[in-house]
Structure 1
Amino acid sequence: MPHLPATTPLDIQLRRPYTSLGVFLPAGMTDSADEQRTIDALADNGVDLFEIGVPCRTPFLDGPVIASAYYEALARGTHVRDVLGTVSYASRRAPVVVMPYWESVALYRPRRFAREMKTVGAAGIMVVDLPDAQARTWADTLAEAGLSSPRLVPPHTTDDTLAQACATASGWLYAPAAAHEPTGYQGPLDLAAPARSVRRLRKASALPVVAGIGISTPALARAVAPLVNGVMVGSLIVGALASTGREAAAGLVADFATAVGTPVAEASHG
């Protein structure tokens, strides 16, 4: 299997002693000029990493906010070729991980998808519903393209599946804070649960750990941040962009950036 270089944009960002803030942004919510202004506003207010979502007709792991953004993007005619433009611009401001469903990758063809995303500046691709049967081939494809292959690892993952995920991952392991919820979950969190999940991932792999799904307030982000290398927020920012506009979304990003700007606990790296 080809190997990525020892130092990648994700390694540089996620192995620093401070927790990074990632923001999820669906491609195609608005026209490209407006989208670029949004990317700049979010980056200027504290984004360390961008996750760029590829619109999908059946986003079964996503809640209503992101699903609605995807449907609207598709109604506007957004295609993978348009996502390439989003990734190209966002990667000038921060490392970008592209987040498609496998359906989009398969239809575009995996090698072509990886190669073109690398060409426009992506640092990695995390397929949120990556089939187990495709995991090794997909990891090889990304490595050949020079891209990281982050993996989503739910807390209920079996030991065997966890071992496979770690063996086919690079860049980071993604730990949902809300174990059985879709994106956009805003209910209470049992903070002991993500702490256990993160400890389990760190025992299984030396990769950085990123937490998301359910981190719906700066206070929750502040509580989770010392455990992980990165905190991801999405639906709250996407909802603000759709309802109250760019300035409000940028203000939320600034609040989250302040909340997570805390040293990563020494124990969390063990």
Structure 2
Amino acid sequence: MKKLVAYITSAYPEKSFSIDLALALGENGVDTLELGVPFSDPVADGPLIEKANHKALELGFKFKHLLEISEMVAPKVDTLWMGYFNSFYQQDMDRLIPLASKLGVNGLIIPDLPHEEALPYNKLFKSNNVSNISFVAPTDSEERIKEVVSDAQKFIYMVAYTGITGSGQAEDLQPFLSSIKKHSDTPVYVGFGVNAATAKEKVKGADGVIVGSAFIDIILKESLSYSEKILKCSELAQIIKNEIN
């Protein structure tokens, strides 16, 4: 069974909505939830997620909201934090990683923390049973792929193309996938540009997909009530889960 990872922006439009949505997604095909930490300059994210980030910050997002959401969600849905390194570093990593573990958060996704700069934190992550998710991109050399994935935990985040999330650009991922799997038995999940229309093609040869912008597109629609947003996101999760399997 191939896995579905869903990204949502924490506390947008409000904390209680994020909790209700996260739990609903967990009941409708989502295997792992990425709780996004709103950040002012989300360089790896497309315009939809960037917009949701900015709106969350305008509405007063604080890091404590992420912790409160996680406390309610992580015991019931496999939960990761996705954010930019500055957001985590400001919280003091030596304090934050044990706290994540205590809350039941199983890993962090930090797109702007290169492999080499993450190495000093390896012991901290491992001693608390929290994964630091590894990224590989099409621009990486064979040698670098081997180095990055040699100790990958939970899953490898395979960037589907060189760019930002949400664009849905098509390309042949099979040679890239083969080079990753040659060096690691860790599951490989495809991210960037995955939606209901592209999921079936993108998951070929991979073990799962990561979907963000397609959910955020629904959450941003002001014409929908909270319950309608949750229903549509749940339906989308079911569709994508069926498509990839």
Q: When the two structures are superposed, what TM-score results if normalisation uses the length of structure 2?
A: 0.91
Note the alpha carbon deviations across 1:21-42, whole angstroms, 9 max, x for none.
1101111102222222211222
Deviates more, 1:47-56 or 1:89-98: 89-98
Which residue of 2 is the match for residue 15 of structure 1? none
Which residue of 1 is the match for residue 232 of structure 2? 248
Instruction: Say whether the 8 Å CA contact 1:85–1:120 is kept in structure 2.
Output: no
Instruction: Say whether the 8 Å CA contact 1:19–1:226 is kept in structure 2.
Output: no
Alignment of 1:250-269 (within 5 A): 250-260=234-244, 262=245
Q: 1:87 to 1:196 in 2, by over 3 A?
A: farther
* 1:185 matched to 2:205: no
Note the alpha carbon deviations across 1:143-178, whole angstroms, 9 max, x for none.
12111121111111123432332245311111122x
Q: Distance in 1 between matches of 2:100 and 2:236?
A: 28
Q: Distance in 2 between matches of 1:139 and 1:86?
A: 26
Question: Which consecutive aligned stretches of 4+ in structure 1 deviate over 3 angstroms post-superposition?
Answer: none
Which residue of 2 is the match for residue 82 of structure 1? 65
For these two proteins, the number of residue pairs brought into alignment is 239
Note the alpha carbon deviations across 1:164-218, whole angstroms, 9 max, x for none.
32245311111122x112111134x12x2x22211111111121111110112x2
Which residue of 1 is the match for residue 42 of structure 2? 59
Deviates more, 1:128-137 or 1:141-150: 128-137
* 1:139 matched to 2:122: yes
Instruction: Say whether the 8 Å CA contact 1:66–1:235 is kept in structure 2.
Output: yes
What one-letter code is carried by the residue in structure 2 that aligns with 1:208?
P
Q: Distance in 2 between matches of 1:168 and 1:107?
A: 26
SS at match of 1:114: helix
Q: Distance in 2 between matches of 1:50 and 1:119?
A: 17
Q: Distance in 1 between matches of 2:26 and 2:12?
A: 17
**What is the RMSD computed on CA atoms of the aligned residues?**
1.7
Q: 2:31 aligns with which of 48, 69, 94?
A: 48
Q: Distance in 1 between matches of 2:204 and 2:146?
A: 25
Which residue of 1 is the match for residue 185 of structure 2? 206
Q: Distance in 2 between matches of 1:35 and 1:235?
A: 16
Which residue of 2 is the match for residue 222 of structure 1? 200
What one-letter code is carried by the residue in structure 1 that aligns with 2:202?
V
* 1:153 matched to 2:136: yes
Instruction: Say whether the 8 Å CA contact 2:11–2:17 is kept in structure 1.
Output: no
Q: When the two structures are superposed, what TM-score results if normalisation uses the length of structure 1?
A: 0.83
